[in-house]
A and B are shown apart, each in its own frame.
Chain A
Amino acid sequence: MGELLSYFTGNWPKILWLTWQHITIVGVAVGLAIMTGIPLGIAASQNRRLASVVLYTASIIMTIPSMALFGVLIPILSLINQGIGYVPAVIALFLYSQLPIISNTYAAFRSIDPAQREAARGMGMTRKQRLWMVEAPLALPVILAGVRTAIVLNIGIAAIAAYIGAGGLGLLIRTGITQTDTRQILAGAIAVSVLALVSDRLLALLQRRLTSPGLALE
């Protein structure tokens, strides 16, 4: 225990740097996934055929083990000289983010009360106004829950991306294993868990701030 603490105190610049790397990989991947997943989810909520294709595909991606996905990406991305490192990690996490974000967006828009949609239409809202004034605020809490799931999930998966040279906190675990250095393994594992927990709490706070009090009341 004391050894672990001294490892932390002695290596904190390195740990902070790896944490920062970890955050950027997950942040960029989920950021991109939000930009594609939410429009896809909205489109799926309005088209049954599209919905089954999109949700099915996203579910299948989810079942691919992360190691296998990294393995598949290496030869493909090698064609543009990006076989290992940051780019394949971001792409893999981007793919894993699709299911929680798309399916939550889809569910959120599907669950909007038709009476509210009709009232909005009958009051003379344009399509855009209906989306921004009514549908988006109603859907937001559920969409944010999906984003939260994606982020916490990806903080875990990103630890494995150290094996394809993407850096991040997984690096501590990887080197710890190769050097049979328990301190490093534990330090990496603890840091990943703390990062996941803190992110989850912060996102929950954000979710609450962005949700109308009218929706939060029970």
Chain B
Amino acid sequence: MIQIEKLTKAFTQDGKHVVALDGIGLEIPHGEICVLLGPSGCGKTTTLKIINRLVTPTSGRVLVDGQDTAEFDVIELRRKIGYVIQQVGLFPHMTVEENIGVVPRLLGWPLEKRRQRALDLLAMVGLDPGAYAGRYPRELSGGQAQRIGVARALAADPPILLMDEPFGALDPLSREALQDEFLMMQSRLKKTIIFVSHDIDEAFKMADRIAIFRQGRIARQGTPDALLAAAGDPFIESFIGRDRALKRLRLRRCAEVLEPCNREFPGDLPRLALQDDLRTALSILVEGNFDALPCFDAEGSVVGMVRLSEIRVLLDGGAPREART
């Protein structure tokens, strides 16, 4: 668990007093992804860098599992915290394997163990270990380089991961793919992750909890669903946009509104899958003017149906169906 308490950061720039952070307070439970969301210059990266002490706060403190980070040896602290940045920062003179092995090497792991770890991690981030271990960063695409950036941060199995717009420089397709794969990985790894982003869609997709930053303060924080459901909050509405209902539906799956099939559907209808998100389902329902469509599992058999009215109920603040029955 990470507790951030009353962080402030002020400095003087060109003779002007600048307050970069003004009383940031945040708690991130073990195994959760907390997204710091906001425009550039709002203090989210500064907050991130205070956690691994690349930046020293003017006041306030950060506790990791109850211990003040200021009391750690700074070098040891950083080796226990994985760090991924937007520019990746792979070392061009080292092979992929050597890049991944940097922190293990700093920790004094023997060569054989470092090599094995690098190969395991390459497989985990979806790159063929045999083909990529010996390559140099210049021989990689942006998406591949960032996968290795993530692998490098995970090398010494740190409990905490700091990610500063890790997928920000990628094209939309590889960004989506990396987000999905990262979420899959996280469901097994259960790291405590602070993730900086300025992309609202990304934030709502990745986060267990979101802190919306504005001018050095946290304007709102909560779970993605709670934030999206906060109707009537002018800040949220202006920040998130008027399509927040769609954004909420994107976070939910067909499985959550599934009902038993009580009628016959013709065979040539569009197909919904259990893992489709509800925004997709809604789009398909509205497009074909259907009130309901059958939903299929991975094997291709009908497991139930999704009704338009049930999606409405969910948006109304109704709890997901499983919770009610």
**Which A residues lie at the B interface, using CB under 8 A?**
113, 115-116, 118-126, 129, 133-134, 137-138, 212-215, 217
Contact = CB atoms under 8 A, between A and B. Distances in A.
14 contacts: A113-B89, A115-B85, A116-B89, A116-B91, A118-B54, A118-B85, A119-B85, A121-B54, A122-B162, A123-B106, A126-B75, A137-B93, A213-B136, A214-B94
A214 B102 CA distance: 16
B270 interface: no
B193 to A, nearest CB: 15
A32 B85 CA distance: 40
Contact of B83 (A119, A134, A138, A217): A119
Interface string B150-167: 001000000000100000
Given A119-B90, A126-B75, A217-B138, 17 more contacts: A113-B87, A121-B54, A122-B83, A122-B85, A123-B78, A123-B102, A124-B103, A124-B106, A125-B75, A125-B102, A138-B91, A138-B93, A213-B136, A214-B93, A214-B95, A214-B137, A217-B136
A124 B102 CA distance: 10
Contacts of A122: 52, 54, 78, 83, 85, 162
A132 to B, nearest CB: 12
Contacts of B79: 123-124
B315 to A, nearest CB: 41
Contacts of A215: 92-93
A115 B88 contact: yes
A23 B83 CA distance: 50
B1 interface: no
Nearest to A117: B89
A133 B94 CA distance: 10
A129 B94 contact: no
A134 B93 CA distance: 8
5 closest A-B pairs by CB:
A119-B89, A214-B136, A124-B78, A212-B93, A115-B87
B54 A124 contact: no
